[in-house]
Structure 1
Amino acid sequence: MNLTILLLYLLGQFAICYYISKRIESEDDYLVAGRKLPLYMISISLFATWFGAETCIGSSAAVYESGISGSRADPFGYSLCLILSGLLIAPRLWSKKYFTLADLYRDRFGDSTQSLATWILSLSSLIWAAAQLRAFGHVVSATTDLPVNLTLFLSFCFVLAYTTLAGLMGDVITDVIQGAIITIGLFVLLYLVLSQSGPIGDLLIAQQTGDRLSLIAPNETWWERADRWAIPILGSLVAQEIVARIFAAKSRSVAVIGCYSSAAIYLVVGSIPVALGLMGPHLIQVEGDSEQFLILLAQKYMPWFLVPVFAGALISALLATIDSILLSVGALVAHNVLIPALKVTEENKKLRLNRTVVVVAGVVAYVMAIYSEGIYELLETASSFGTSGILIITILGLWSKWGCNRTATVTLITGLVATPVGEYIFKVPSPFLVSIAVSLMVFFAMSLVKPKAASSPS
């Protein structure tokens, strides 16, 4: 029964995307949804895209094991990230009418910066996609009793078929549906847990030890604490998944307000899995893989016929994120690397190339998901991989006249190297913050050597 309901749900999602795909005629339709999306679509889509495995599966499991300090990224860190996007990114980027972030780097700095940034952004997104695929496999496994590796493979096959069809318009329309489903599902689970287990005050506070209620992990230094906050806030600030929706907004104000409203939605809804994880040890004992905590909690407290519905809600959150990520990788690699290199001009060939890259990206993400250790580790890696250099050249490229092609390229290389060197060689307690500081110093130093900008921001 559970498997049947899940299959019907997934087929419904596929049917929506297949219907929308018939209206995709150009790269503009596929990558930026014709640049005509209203506020409610931008807001819900941004929320649904960010609200994936890290909140539904990874963070609830981390809080279950370690308390609030186990997952500070959700909902606080990523909510702040979306607010900063509305302040720093959306106001300047919307008017550019680009397709991808790499278009900005090409126009502001040069071709080599565009190419290097494309590969950094793509690999970071692929790591993130692997986390979502892994979480998808866990949900289906816990719901159907099939092995995780098998469900991971089946999830991979479905996601590829689902993502390649309808582009950003299909992504956003299904985001709206999926965002509503996951929100309702989480509120229903929270209500059932509280109605069967006692007052929320007792579960959240009275029965908790001081360590579980603290945002500070045991023996954590100030620098370590700052670094863990910086990764979700700054490490995810400059992402193709965000800017694709900024480009697709029908006006500048829609793009900006959409970022703010999505942050508010994320903060409210994202608090529910964290609260459930905090209450978890008093509700259920998880043996083995703690990343199945949330679905096992649903199996205990929900009527049997609601469990596959809740699993469908979790799958909604995961699908909303996975298809956005793979579409972003396809846009970056196809639009900024392959189409210029192959001199493709026909719109149908551009669409075919974008869809082909999405398939290849899905295969790479699947391999990463198989060999990864856990969801939360993947997410932290994705948020810090080379992103310090990306962050610096994007913010300063938008808001200053400093820097040229050489400046930006060296800054990107510095960002790639500084984090692993700081963490594994020098053992600094805050490698990501150090990487940002070093990248910033390199950018200004290189700008002084050759201060003339390639172009000035508008």
Structure 2
Amino acid sequence: MPINIGGLVAIVIFYLLILAVGIWAARKKPPGDDDAEDVMLAGRSIGIFVGIFTMTATWVGGGYINGTAEVVYDTGLIWCQAPFGYAMSLIFGGVLFANKMRSQGYVTMLDPLQNQFGERMGGLLFLPALCGEVFWSAAILGALGATLSVVLDMDVKTAVILSACIAVAYTLFGGLYAVAYTDVVQLGCIFIGLWLCIPFAWNHPAVGEVIDSQQDWIGEVPSNQWGLYADYCLLLIFGGIPWQVYFQRVLSSKSGHKAQILSYVAAFGCLIMAVPPVIIGAIARATAWNETEFECESPDVCITAKHTAMILPLVLQYLTPDFVSFVGLGAISAAVMSSADSSVLSASSMFARNIWKLTFRQNASESEVLWVMRVAIFVVGVLATVLALTIPSIYGLWYLSSDLVYVILFPQLLMVVHFRDHCNTYGSLSAYIVGVLCRTLGGEDMIGIPAIIKYPYYDEEEGTQLFPFRTLAMIVSASTLVFFSILSRWLFETGRLSPKYDFLRCVVNIPEDAERVGEPHEGEMSVMTCHTVVKYNSTDVNEMNGRINPALNLGSDSDEEAAANQEAPTMTENGRTKKRLVGEIISPPPITSPRKQDQTKL
């Protein structure tokens, strides 16, 4: 069958619209501003309206709407956990993290982890976050290619490469400015496009009584699968929090209170946006597919297991007129791009700041960090595209990565934000190792990893863990973090181990010129650089270049205090000379006792 020219023209027009909006949004960035933080967080100036749209669009991606329709068709509404789970994750994220992390002025999700556990441990924690973002981008790009091939009979590789190029192009030059404003257009296209398809599909002659077949598409949970059901539910709720795509929007808000509002309203938006794909899944369930133009493999069975993942594009293709299916296809493309661009930007931001800037090149200029981020955007985009085109089990890789985010990152992020005095680098490293082992030994059938540990109720025939082993692994990881932190502190502070064995230098063998400052106030962030604590104020110098950073202008210090700090001369202490910046450089006295309060170095 030849390529559908009308549909191809419609998709090209849609892509050009998105690219134009992205370029326009990139121009909102102040001219000549080469501040990397401004590009990552849009100058912390995202308003309520745009913030709600971009927060919602981040979760409502191609996998969200395609997966919702698939699950409703295949196993019933009761198994459609993503809308409820992601909505609850946004609510819990707002309650537990949004206000506190925005008020402390962090730039990425890894900042509090790296501040507490050090730059090397931060690099390890970056790996599951990076894999999750890259594999997710690859998975949804692959799904988009398959969708376009169904509706337009378009080559999958061409579709994937074109979509990735458009998303990377406007993200490369506009950063979060472009991503946020294109999300507004994309979310509108998703909502209008899917709702437009519903009346046409519902009234197709091959569709039976959708409401009367309610019991068919609601589904049920077998008694032996409640553990699996609860495991997935908790994974979506708490494993959906520690993602940079979420915190990038939280930290770009004008205040901590507004960050919470974004989270709560976006949770409601996720539920609203799930309604159209749920209805489409129910329509597909009530359709006699042998009465459509769909080519059935047998008279009795039309939709097989290999077709269920594409149930939404199949409804668009065979139950709606061409012009309607093109609009719906634009909605799917918008959903994919709204998630792909966010993931690419998030992974690149973490690499440029937490790996390049804070680990390898502490003295890197803002311009250097910005260019590293741009190169990373391109590399991550290319990597996601290659994975989408070459690995058929990319969804399995993403499932495993998202499980590791839940098992490893969530307990560690919770501890450093709320209980930072009860965790250290020894506990973090131990929890990391234990968490990875517990999760991988449970197996992952989608990518061929066998289950070494067979938990209770293991299904031998299906090779499925029915016990909530992911949640168990998360709890074990959290317990390990607390236990080894307390144990290491007790061993060193009581003198049972000599300070020379504190090789991670986070309990008693702490560098002489490193000391943790107290909790920062609204708009402040504490950063350790070269073992010197610099406490930045909300109107502080921009990465020590002497420029006032308007992105953090929350006004925590008075003008007189700022002037006093700026006028302060260099000070000499213990033979070392330090220059005072806006903010305060704190040098502790020499350590005279091996016993010291639990502290960490970056």
Normalised TM-score (structure 2): 0.70
1:41 to 50, 53, 57: 50
1:431 equivalenced with 2:469 (yes/no): yes
Q: Deviations over 1:397-429 (max 9, x none)?
A: 111121012222222232222211134211222
Q: CA 1:131/1:399 → structure 2, altered by over 3 Å: closer, same or farther?
A: same
Equivalence map 1:50-129=2 (5 Å): 50-73=59-82, 75-129=83-137
1:255 to 259, 264, 268: 259
In structure 2, distance between residues paired with 1:140 and 1:245: 30
3-state DSSP of counterpart to 2:227: helix
1:387 to 403, 406, 413: 406
Q: CA deviation at 1:6?
A: 0.8
Deviates more, 1:167-176 or 1:362-371: 362-371
In structure 1, distance between residues paired with 2:341 and 2:412: 27
CA contact (8 A) 1:32 1:244 kept: yes
Q: CA 1:297/1:410 → structure 2, altered by over 3 Å: closer, same or farther?
A: same
2:269 to 245, 265, 268: 265
Q: Which residue of 1 aligns with 2:178?
A: 170
3-state DSSP of counterpart to 1:30: helix
In structure 1, distance between residues paired with 2:331 and 2:250: 26
1:203 equivalenced with 2:230 (yes/no): no
2:283 to 276, 279, 300: 279
In structure 1, distance between residues paired with 2:407 and 2:383: 23
In structure 1, distance between residues paired with 2:70 and 2:186: 22
Residue type matched to 2:126 in 1? T
CA contact (8 A) 1:397 1:457 kept: no
Equivalence map 1:11-410=2 (5 Å): 11-24=16-29, 25=33, 26-73=35-82, 75-196=83-204, 202-204=209-211, 206-209=212-215, 212-216=217-221, 218=222, 220-283=224-287, 285=289, 286=303, 288-340=306-358, 341-343=360-362, 345-373=364-392, 377=396, 379-400=398-419, 401-410=421-430
In structure 1, distance between residues paired with 2:126 and 2:272: 33
Q: Deviations over 1:57-94 (max 9, x none)?
A: 12312332222355322x11111111111111102111
CA contact (8 A) 1:386 1:416 kept: no
Consecutive unaligned residues of structure 2, counting only runs of 5 or more, are 1-5, 290-302, 444-450, 456-466, 490-505, 508-515, 521-602
In structure 2, distance between residues paired with 1:262 and 1:449: 41
Q: Name the count of aligned residue pairs.
A: 453
Identity of aligned residues (%): 25
Q: CA deviation at 1:257?
A: 0.9
Deviates more, 1:281-290 or 1:156-165: 281-290
Q: Which residue of 1 aligns with 2:511?
A: none
In structure 2, distance between residues paired with 1:255 and 1:177: 21
Q: Which residue of 2 aligns with 1:412?
A: 432
Residue type matched to 1:134 in 2? G
CA contact (8 A) 2:316 2:325 kept: yes
CA contact (8 A) 2:206 2:288 kept: no
- Greater C-alpha radius of gyration: 2
Q: CA 1:175/1:225 → structure 2, altered by over 3 Å: closer, same or farther?
A: same
3-state DSSP of counterpart to 1:385: helix
RMSD: 2.5
Higher relative contact order (CA 8 A, sep 6+): 1
CA contact (8 A) 1:63 1:274 kept: yes
Q: Deviations over 1:314-343 (max 9, x none)?
A: 111111100000000101111111234134
Consecutive unaligned residues of structure 1, counting only runs of 5 or more, are none
Deviates more, 1:64-73 or 1:183-192: 64-73
In structure 2, distance between residues paired with 1:148 and 1:385: 30
CA contact (8 A) 1:54 1:375 kept: no
In structure 2, distance between residues paired with 1:221 and 1:426: 18
In structure 2, distance between residues paired with 1:412 and 1:114: 11
CA contact (8 A) 1:27 1:351 kept: yes
In structure 2, distance between residues paired with 1:447 and 1:81: 27
3-state DSSP of counterpart to 2:46: coil
In structure 2, distance between residues paired with 1:375 and 1:185: 27
3-state DSSP of counterpart to 1:289: helix
Q: CA 1:276/1:77 → structure 2, altered by over 3 Å: closer, same or farther?
A: same
Deviates more, 1:422-431 or 1:43-52: 422-431
Residue type matched to 1:446 in 2? F
Q: Deviations over 1:178-227 (max 9, x none)?
A: 11111112222223333557999x414x22445x42352x4643321211
CA contact (8 A) 2:73 2:282 kept: yes
